[in-house]
Amino acid sequence: MKQYFITGTDTEVGKTYVTCQLLQAAQKSSLSAIGYKPIAAGCEQINGEWVNEDALNIQKACSKIRANIAIKITDNNELKSVNENNEESGQTLPLHQINPIALKPAIAPHIAALEEGVALTFDEIAKGLDELQAYQPDLLLMEGAGGWRLPLTVGDEYTPAYYLSDVVKTLKMDVILVVGMRLGCLNHALLTAEAIRADGLTIKGWVANDITGNMARYQENLHSLKAMLPEPLLAEIPYQVAPNDEMLFAAIKQIS
């Protein structure tokens, strides 16, 4: 099983869209794939449940799951554990497993959590990850909220601030960086990548996501990022156009 943390240069840069595209491309490549968005702020009530739209999109993009693991005999007469996530008889992952911490107001999660009396802790996030790992998908993508240094607590004179990036550091997850292609993205991308590396983590690659469709000198900015970021460009996502399948398949090959 391969697992990655999906972060972005800012909020609203297309982390969820990229996550869903990678999940779907993995399944088209005959891999089982599950997404996890532990914290989401901004929900509406649907059928008595508080639902975040991003989490709902990830749920739709995930493989079907089965609780049991089948065993098959390989061509070499060896026993192999096989995850049956892609079976048509499988079930859709419950939304509360994909998004265990769903905060109602669309504001900074640590502020929303304080208002709702919810604790944003490592244990809660890791517990949800453990539950999804038990399904043994080929690919597990954990999507962050906001940018890399998202605060879970701001700390006080006795306790330091605690960030979502601290959770990722403890879990030792490799990172995929989504760069929202707009004015200012060069600075945002370089600073974010620098912070990730300073935290001792590996950036597996980055995705250029055109989020406006009208960025001046788009290609020149993309060329600049390619020159300054040593990590590979996994995919380039056009504005409001479905990305090329072959490009996504190549990205999946690099991360699986």
CATH of the domain at 251: 3.40.50.300
Q: What confidence tier does 71 reach under pLDDT thresholds 50, 70, 90?
A: very low
Catalytic site residue from 37, 80, 104, 226: 37
- Structure token pair of residue 63: 């493989």
Query: Residue 37 catalytic?
Result: yes
**Res. 115: pLDDT tops 60:** yes
- What pTM did the predictor assign? 0.90
Domain tally, the chain: 1
Residue 72 lies in a domain: no
Residue 88 lies in a domain: no
Residue 86 lies in a domain: no
Residue 178 lies in a domain: yes
Residue 84 lies in a domain: no
**Full domain range(s) for residue 138:** 2-64+94-255
Residue 87 lies in a domain: no
Q: Residues annotated in the binding site for ATP, as ranges? A: 12-17, 54, 143-146, 209-210, 240
pLDDT at 238: 96
Residue 244 lies in a domain: yes
Region 4-9 average pLDDT: 99
**Res. 180: pLDDT tops 80:** yes
Average pLDDT, the chain: 92
Per-residue pLDDT tens over the stretch 126-164: 999 999 999 999 999 999 999 999 999 999 989 999 999
Long-range contacts of 112-120 (CB under 8 A, 24+ apart): 112/41, 113/152, 120/39, 120/152, 120/153
Q: What confidence tier does 67 reach under pLDDT thresholds 50, 70, 90?
A: low
Q: What confidence tier does 65 reach under pLDDT thresholds 50, 70, 90?
A: confident
pLDDT at 47: 87
- 3-state secondary structure at position 216: coil
**Res. 113: pLDDT tops 60:** yes
Cβ 33 vs Cβ 27: under 8 Å: yes
**Res. 48: pLDDT tops 50:** yes
Residue 127 lies in a domain: yes
